[in-house]
């Protein structure tokens, strides 16, 4: 139905969790929360270890899924019992606490304060996995020597994927790698971009989009510029990646970016 993207900082600072608590949101609708995005600061506030200077709701997360269990007199009856998503576009923001030192950046597809859902499903999706898988599939398809150009933020991911696939390569520019594979004649020229467009694959020229033909929908793709995906990818150094596979990379990216779909 919609997607919301979050950018967070630091290690282990985001958790998709199930907590049985209720919130009044914005002021008159009582919602029993089923799933919510939480950080360690959220958890400490819920546990009473930190007392915010503002009143309830006592959570910082920008999005949550719940069911309406009660309502005020000025709220329509039809919302009772509905599954709803609580969104960030409210005056009474879920994460607007007056806590010193709190600094987190969110980017989201705009949604209403309380929006009724047609389904109960809420899923946490790791946005980076389809992107990584697409790059690996492109590299696996190489049958001859190739010159690959790409956005600089992809260097660590592409070079590590080549190492995992036991493919020889050399660096010939800040944004360019030469891959030695099969025949050394008639180079294949590959350009890997973030443009949301169809892939064009000819005999010797491949224009590949990281975003097309993956599990991304258009709404999610539109958010990528807002969350500065380039910065997130650049933060992952090659020393941080497990040489045995992409498992550590995926684990690290899970700390950086989460997409909630419903």
For residues 181 and 66, membership in a common domain is answered with: no
Q: CB-based contacts of 29: which residues, under 8 Å, 6+ apart? A: 68, 70, 71, 72, 75, 79, 84, 114
For residues 135 and 251, membership in a common domain is answered with: yes
Has residue 250 been placed in a domain? Answer: yes
Residue at a domain's end among 78, 105, 125: 125
Residue at a domain's end among 62, 94, 125: 125
For residues 38 and 63, membership in a common domain is answered with: yes
- Biggest CA-to-CA distance, the chain: 76
How does residue 249 score in pLDDT terms, banded at 50, 70 and 90? low
pLDDT at 160 over 60: yes
For residues 213 and 157, membership in a common domain is answered with: yes
Comparison of pLDDT for 144 and 109, the residue scoring more: 144
Q: Which two tokens stand for residue 262?
A: 């419903």
Dihedral Cα 16, 9, 43, 111, nearest 10 deg: -50
**Alpha carbons 233 and 34: distance in angstroms, whole number:** 31
Cβ pair 29, 81 in contact under 8 A: no
Domain that holds residue 67: 3-125
Has residue 211 been placed in a domain? Answer: yes
Total of domains in the chain: 2
Residue 5 confidence (pLDDT): 38
Cβ pair 243, 115 in contact under 8 A: no
By percentage, how much of the chain surpasses pLDDT 90?
5
pLDDT in tens, 177-223: 999 877 666 788 999 887 767 888 888 899 988 766 554 545 455 54
Residue 159 confidence (pLDDT): 82
**Alpha carbons 262 and 219: distance in angstroms, whole number:** 12
For residues 43 and 103, membership in a common domain is answered with: yes
Comparison of pLDDT for 71 and 109, the residue scoring more: 71
State the average pLDDT for the chain: 62
Has residue 262 been placed in a domain? Answer: no
How does residue 75 score in pLDDT terms, banded at 50, 70 and 90? low
pTM: 0.46
Q: Write down the residue that tokens 């859902």 correspond to.
A: 117
Has residue 261 been placed in a domain? Answer: no
Lowest mean pLDDT among 22-26, 46-50, 96-100, 228-232: 96-100
Has residue 237 been placed in a domain? Answer: yes
Has residue 187 been placed in a domain? Answer: yes
Residue at a domain's end among 125, 148, 178: 125
Helix axes 155-164, 128-140, angle to 10 degrees: 50
**Alpha carbons 11 and 206: distance in angstroms, whole number:** 36
**Alpha carbons 211 and 116: distance in angstroms, whole number:** 29
Q: Which two tokens stand for residue 60?
A: 């910082």
For residues 81 and 142, membership in a common domain is answered with: no
Cβ pair 27, 54 in contact under 8 A: no
What mean pLDDT do residues 85-107 have? Answer: 42
What mean pLDDT do residues 78-105 have? Answer: 50
Has residue 110 been placed in a domain? Answer: yes
Q: Write down the residue that tokens 């910082």 correspond to.
A: 60
For residues 180 and 101, membership in a common domain is answered with: no
**Alpha carbons 176 and 70: distance in angstroms, whole number:** 59
pLDDT in tens, 162-180: 887 888 999 988 789 999 8
For residues 39 and 110, membership in a common domain is answered with: yes
Residue 210 confidence (pLDDT): 75
Residue 73 confidence (pLDDT): 65
């Amino acid at each position: 139905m919609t997607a919301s993207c979050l950018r967070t900082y630091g290690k282990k600072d985001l958790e998709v969790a199930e907590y049985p608590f209720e919130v009044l949101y914005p002021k008159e609708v009582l919602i029993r929360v089923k799933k919510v995005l939480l950080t360690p600061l959220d958890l400490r506030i819920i546990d009473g270890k930190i007392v915010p200077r503002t009143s309830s709701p006592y959570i910082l997360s920008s999005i949550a899924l719940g069911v309406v269990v009660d309502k005020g007199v000025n709220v329509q009856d039809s919302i009772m019992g509905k599954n709803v998503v609580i969104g960030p576009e409210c005056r009474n923001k879920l994460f607007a606490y007056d806590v010193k030192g709190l600094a987190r950046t969110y980017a989201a597809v705009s949604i209403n304060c309380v929006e009724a859902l047609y389904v109960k499903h809420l899923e946490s999706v790791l946005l980076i996995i389809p992107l990584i898988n697409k790059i690996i599939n492109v590299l696996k398809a190489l049958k001859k020597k190739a010159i690959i150009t790409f956005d600089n933020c992809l260097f660590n991911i592409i070079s590590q994927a080549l190492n995992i696939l036991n493919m020889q390569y050399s660096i010939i520019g800040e944004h360019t790698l030469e891959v030695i594979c099969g025949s050394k004649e008639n180079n294949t020229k590959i350009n890997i971009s973030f443009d949301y467009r169809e892939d064009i694959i000819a005999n010797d020229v491949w224009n590949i989009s990281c975003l097309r033909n993956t599990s991304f929908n258009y709404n999610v793709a539109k958010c990528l510029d807002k969350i500065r995906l380039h910065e997130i990818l650049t933060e992952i150094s090659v020393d941080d990646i497990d040489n045995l596979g992409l498992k550590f990379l995926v684990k690290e990216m899970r700390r950086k970016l989460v997409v909630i779909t419903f």
